[in-house]
Amino acid sequence: PSVPIGRRGEFEEALRAGPVFVVESDYLDDRSRPGAVIPPWTLASKLRQYVAKGVLTEEDMYKICIENVRRIYKSLLQI
């Protein structure tokens, strides 16, 4: 599954099941609502904050951001 990182508590809740998901920015393409959701270009800094706070380990971040994405797209692209 994909978990929006900008919604309060959803990422932390998903982590309880382990690093078995990928993250998304939950980007809202609506200029009249700036800041309503987390922009895609802020994902890396948000994840680093979770590591710094001890919410997420570096190993789990690697699984979420690299291994899980690779597994999803490998099966979709048959590579």
Question: pLDDT tens for residues 28-47?
Answer: 666 776 666 777 888 899 99
Torsion sign, CA atoms 76, 40, 53, 62: positive
What is the residue extent of each domain of the chain?
2-77
- Reported as a pLDDT band with limits 50, 70 and 90, residue 69 is very high
Cα 32 to chain centroid, rounded: 25
pTM, full prediction: 0.77
Position 35 scores a pLDDT of: 62
